[in-house]
Every structure is written in C-alpha cells, then in structure tokens.
Amino acid sequence: MKKTLLLSVVASTMIMAGGDIAPVEPVVEAPVEVASWDFSGQAVAYYQTIDDQGTGDLFSGSSTYGSLGLQLRATNADVMWGIGAGAEVSAIKQDDGFSSNMTGGNAQTDSAELTQAYLTYGMDSINTSLKVGRQTLPKSLSPFAFSEGWQVFKNTFDAALVVNSSLPNTTLVYAYVTGANRSVGPIDNFSDISAFPGVINAEDNVHMVTAQNKSFENLTLTGSYYFAANMTSDAGIPNGGDTQLWWLDGTYKAESFTVALQGGQVMPDGVDDTSAFGAKIAGNLGGFGLALAYSSVDDGVVPVYNMGTNVKTPLYTQSILNQNTISLDSDTIKASATMKALGGGFGLHYIYSDLGSAARGSVFNNGNVEAGGSATGTGEYSELDLTYKTKVSENTTVFAGYVWQDDDRLVDSQNFLRFWARYNF
C-alpha cells in the first residue's frame, strides 16, 4: 500500500512539472587500469652420459649426470608510474651419484636461487628502455656476455641495460655488467666477469656498446665494443691492465639463403691480442637445409668465447662440445645438414679443427694422452653431432643428441649422449 502511494506521488509530480524532469543517471567512474602480474615457468628433466675415452661406460654412474629443474617467473610491465618488474627463481635437484665432470652447466646446486630480479622503465618520448638488475643478455646484441641455452637453465647477469631505437632502422645498446652466474658452478655463484684462466677478470666490471642496423633489406649489421678496466692478474695478463674487445657481424638472410661474415679482436694490455674471423653460407629447400661455416682464431692469450660463462663462443662453427678447440689457435670447418621429419627436426653436423701450438684441450678431456704428448697444443680435432628436437605437445619440447669426439692428442675417441625435456607453463 505504501509503495503504491509513493509511486503515485512521484508520477503526479512529474505530470505537474510538465513531464520534463529526466531521471538522474548514476555517475560511472572509469576504473583505474593496473597492469597485472604474469606468472610462468618451466620444468626440466636433463640427462647426459659419456664413455670417457673408453675408460668408462655409457649410462654408468661415474660418467653420467641427471637432474630435475623447476623455474618460476613473475613479470609486471607496469607496477607503478611506468616501472615494470620481473623475478625468477630456479631450483635443481641432481643425482647424487653424478660425475663432477658431467654436470649440466649451472646444475651444481640443490637449492633454489634467485636467477632474475630486475626493474624496467620505458621512455617513449626518446624511444629508450632501461632494465636494471639480474637478467638474461641475448647473443645477438652481446656476443661476448650472453645467456646460453644448452644448460638446464640459462645463465644470467647482474647488469644495467639501456636500449635506444631513435635512429631509423637502428638499435643502440649500452650494458654495464657487474657479475655473472657461470654455466659451470652453482646458480648463485655471481661474481665479477670472469675468473677462468685467460678470460677477462675486471675488478671495475665491464662496459659494452652495441649498434645494430637493418637499413638494407635482408641485411643485419652488428658491431660491439667491450671495455674492462683494472683487471686482476690472470693467466699471464698483467695486473691492473685494461682489456678492450671489438666484434663485427654482417648477415644477409633472404627467404631461403643466408651469407654471413664475422670478425674481431680481444686486446688485453701487455700481452698479445687474439684475432678471429668467421664466414657462413646456408640454404634451405623445403624441409632440407645445408650450411658450411669456417672460423680462424690466432694464438693470442685470451680465448674468443663468452666471458660471462667461459664456455660457448660466438663463432659460426660452434657446435655441441667443440668450444675449447675452436676458441684459440685453430682453423675450423663445420658442415651441417638439417631435415624436418617425424614431427620434428633432425640435424647432422661435422666439425674439423686444425690446432696450433697454443690450442686448448678439448671438452671432457680426461688427460689420457698419447705417449710423450700433451692434451693441449698442436693436433687435429673432429666431432660428429646427430640431433633431434620436437614438440610433443603445445608446451613440451624434447631434445636428443649424440656426439662423437676424436682428438688425436688423446689416446682414444669418445661417445656422448644428451637428452632433455622442457615443459613450459
């Protein structure tokens, strides 16, 4: 009864006012947009084994390594005021019976570690982005301090990274690198770049400048310069000296044809420079691919390889286990054939290196040398790699690789197998 009376009063009032009283619309405020956190990660199973020049057996405990890894990430492009953030935690549980010579890179830990933690900021008005903290670095823009993908998890760096794209078709990069977690060693082993014999070891850290230009169709030109000041004494490099490094890469890549040239020099104070050159030609026809690469590194003091890990090189001849023999005093040829089949991709690669007197020992060298010989210095090295990689589901990728190594400085050849599976979520 009361509701009916109230409605009648409201209707009568509107009629008396000429019916021109519009109902009041509620005020609707636009919601404040807050970027949400994105969560992702991966689970990894990793296994590799070697017969150790006939002194061991494939799949035996003394020459086999296995581990399980879990990696969790969180990123937010705009936490507040345009500042983004990212974090990553990595944990690896390894087989307690593994051979210490067979670790899967950064797998030498049984605890969870913070492998990435960074802030980002974009300055759109000047086409510049800033990333500061623990992060990955790409080889395409940082060929001598980059994150490698062969391990259980990628290695990361403590760095400040500035990227500018103001110039047409050009990317300019500056990096100030203060530390790295090596490929070999605990995940949390962050220290100066770097502490392996013969590698830059700078107390005042490393500066890098890279310029990459794509003004010409299908052609990418990249140049990088590194400066490391106040080195500690390491492998005959004078204490307190500086090291400079420059590297150039030109790659012409059409739809099914690639030609590339690379070269540069490592220049430490007080000792001989190391110069390197490389060339590559590759072509694809349907599901088949062929490639031929060449590299030449002279007999300087500092090897040509990733100074953040002391493992892989930026050379076109890099393959699964040949990094030591191509990084110093070596002429190398790599011939490759690839094929798409069985739902994935097969790869067949043959590598031959002619080694000079300053050449390093090959990977997984157990010291079992020819009588009166040496595991380092003059010799010949051959490697044959057979690989298969496929996605078994939308989120799962598996890899299998077989490697045959023959170093004529050693008593016998050896066989190596690596398998991994990655589930991304």
Digit-coded pLDDT (tens) for 45-90: 999 999 988 888 888 877 888 889 999 999 999 999 999 999 999 9
pLDDT higher for 35 or 168?
Answer: 168
Domain of 282 in residue numbering reads as 35-424
> Which pTM does this prediction carry?
0.87
Residue 29: band (very low, low, confident or very high) from pLDDT cuts 50, 70, 90: low
Of the chain, the percentage scoring pLDDT greater than 70 comes to: 80
- Which H helix or E strand runs over 44? strand 38-50
Reported as a pLDDT band with limits 50, 70 and 90, residue 314 is: very high
- Weakest-pLDDT range from 53-57, 260-264, 336-340: 53-57
- If pLDDT is split at 50, 70 and 90, which confidence band does 4 have? very low
Residues 248, 243: Cα–Cα separation, whole Å: 17
The per-residue b/e assignment along 221-247, b for 16 or more CB within 10 angstroms, e otherwise, is bbebebbbbebeebeebeeebbbbbbb
Residue 251 lies inside a defined structural domain of this protein: yes
In the predicted model, what is the mean pLDDT of the chain?
Answer: 86
pLDDT in tens, 162-178: 999 999 999 999 999 98
What domain count does the chain have? 1
Mean pLDDT of 383-407: 97
Give the span between the Cα atoms of 66 and 48, in whole angstroms: 7
User: How is residue 304 written in tokens?
Assistant: 């040509």
Q: 74: Cβ–Cβ under 8 A, 6 or more apart, which residues? A: 37, 38, 39, 86, 87, 88
Residue 404 lies in a domain: yes
**How far apart, in whole angstroms, are the C-alpha atoms of residue 406 and residue 383?**
6
Output the pLDDT for position 179: 84
Predicted pLDDT of residue 228: 85
Residue 231: enclosing H or E segment and its boundaries?
A: none
pLDDT of amino acid 200: 57
The model's confidence at residue 235, banded by pLDDT at 50, 70 and 90, is: low
Answer whether 412's CB lies under 8 Å from 54's CB.
Answer: yes
Cα→Cα distances 137→211, 274, 308, 321, 387, Å: 15, 24, 10, 22, 26
| pLDDT at position 242 | 84
Q: Is residue 374 part of a domain?
A: yes
Mean pLDDT of 291-295: 98
Q: What does the pLDDT average to over 245-250? A: 97
pLDDT of residue 55: 83
Give me the CATH number covering residue 59: 2.40.160.10
Question: Which among 255-259, 282-286, 297-301, 348-352 has the top mean pLDDT?
Answer: 348-352
Contacts of 276 (CB under 8 A, 6+ apart): 262, 263, 264, 265, 295, 296, 297, 298, 304, 315
26 phi, psi to nearest 5 deg: -70, 145
Q: Which band of pLDDT confidence, cut at 50, 70 and 90, is reported for residue 365? A: confident
Indicate whether 285 belongs to any domain: yes
Confidence label for 269 from pLDDT (cuts 50, 70 and 90): confident
Q: Examine residue 27 and state whether it is found in any structural domain, yes or no.
A: no
Average pLDDT over residues 89-112: 70
Residue 16 in any domain: the answer is: no
**109 — pLDDT class (breaks 50, 70, 90):** low
Pairwise CA distance, residues 210 & 165, whole Å: 12
**Long-range contacts of 258-261, Cβ-Cβ distance < 8 Å, separation of 24 or more:** 258/282, 258/283, 258/291, 260/316
pLDDT band at 33 (very low <50, low <70, confident <90, very high): low
Q: Which of 117, 205, 115 is nearest to 151 (CA)?
A: 115
Name 108's Cβ contacts closer than 8 Å, sequence gap at least 6. Answer: 94, 184, 185, 186
- Which range in 104-113, 180-189, 240-249 is most confidently predicted, on average pLDDT? 240-249
| Bigger pLDDT: 61 vs 25 | 61
The reply to whether 11 falls in a domain is no
Q: Residue 17's pLDDT is what?
A: 40
Please check whether residue 1 lies inside any domain of the structure: no
